[in-house]
Amino acid sequence: MSELNQKQLLELVTSVNVAPGNARVRALVARVVGDLFKTIDELDVSADEFWKAADWLSRLGTSGQVGLITAGLGFDRLLDIRADEADERAGRSGGTPRAIEGPLYVAGAPLSKVEARLDEGNSAGEVFVMEGQVRTLAGQPVAHALIDVWHANSQGGYSHFFPGLKPYELRRRIETDAKGHYRFRTALPPGYSIPPNSPTSELFEALGRHGHRPAHVHFLVAAPGQRTLTTQVNIPGDTYIDDDFAFATRDGLIVELERGVAPAGYESLGISAPFVRSRFDFVTQPAATAGEASPAARLARVQATAGRG
């Protein structure tokens, strides 16, 4: 092959092909590779630095922590900001704000009607009940909405990602009643921290950043004809409530806690002593397309559209 300068190399890398390939992928790769070539040149990246980064990426991939890095570097929130901007341009507003899904969702949690216990009797932490209604923008109840809820245990760990939890522990799907009502019992969660001694912690240490999220509970709320809502609520009083490593906390998503609520009426959730309650209604927008009403989380969405570029 002939001698090449940097510019000629980039030109070649982004143009050689034996088939058209996928135009969108080609455009994105050309842009990203071009930006990286430029970064390497302008910041005078050494070969050792480059291969150290490549090794980190390989280890990140095998660790399954790519989603922690996307969240911690702001990409997940960026996509939400862009979705909010697109909504504003389209004149769509109102309802419960969206908040990032995060990397720790697992599809297929056990399904119950109207109420559920997420903690499976494993009651470390304060007894916490969240209850409310799913409503439309016009205030109508959303009958038989599906609420997928998941959160961390008292150690800040999520089932399927952290040792010592049962499959689907602290994960449930709850179908609301005809009036859109739901309620669940669980243990009031603490915050989350990125795993120590991991590719993720290596990067955050090098950036001089912490890897903590304030206490939160995740939701995916879906119903026919309604736009699927991915959101999170935050528990007030957490040190990191305004300093989330994933930049995902939002106004309107910090719940109020009522402490010392009398147990009467909560017997079916195994409650016989005062507990902590939060009332929270989810308000969903009308779906503009059938796809918007799909109950699929982000991974299932991309898998469903795989091959469409």
Binding footprint of ligand MBD on the chain (CB under 6 A): 68, 71, 100, 102-104, 192, 213, 246, 248
Residue 229's binding partner out of ligand MBD, Fe ion, none, with CB under 5 to 8 Å set by partner kind = none
Tokens of 27: 């455009």
Which CB atom, from 99 or from 127, has the smaller least distance to Fe ion? 99
Instruction: In angstroms, give the least distance from the CB of 213 to Fe ion.
Output: 6
C-alpha–C-alpha distance, residues 92 and 281, integer Å: 19
Which CB atom, from 96 or from 249, has the smaller least distance to Fe ion? 249
Site of tokens 């704000």? 97
Helix (H, G, I), strand (E, B) or coil at 187: strand
Which CB atom, from 99 or from 283, has the smaller least distance to ligand MBD? 99
Q: Burial level of 154, CB count in 10 A (0-12/13-18/19+)?
A: middle
Instruction: In angstroms, give the least distance from the CB of 216 to Fe ion.
Output: 6
Residue 100's binding partner out of ligand MBD, Fe ion, none, with CB under 5 to 8 Å set by partner kind = ligand MBD
CB 275 within 8 A of CB 126: yes
Residue 180's binding partner out of ligand MBD, Fe ion, none, with CB under 5 to 8 Å set by partner kind = none
- Contact between 72 and Fe ion by CB under 5 A: the answer reads no
Instruction: In angstroms, give the least distance from the CB of 251 to ligand MBD.
Output: 18
Instruction: In angstroms, give the least distance from the CB of 297 to ligand MBD.
Output: 13
Residue 71's binding partner out of Fe ion, ligand MBD, none, with CB under 5 to 8 Å set by partner kind = ligand MBD
- Contact between 102 and Fe ion by CB under 5 A: the answer reads yes
Q: At what angle do helices 199-206 and 47-63 cross, to 10 degrees?
A: 140
What are the two backbone dihedrals, phi and then psi, of residue 61, each rounded to the nearest 5 degrees?
A: -60, -50
Q: How far is CA 202 from CA 53, 77, 143, 157, in A?
A: 11, 22, 47, 19
Instruction: In angstroms, give the least distance from the CB of 302 to ligand MBD.
Output: 17
C-alpha–C-alpha distance, residues 153 and 237, integer Å: 18
Residue ranges binding Fe ion (CB under 5 A): 102
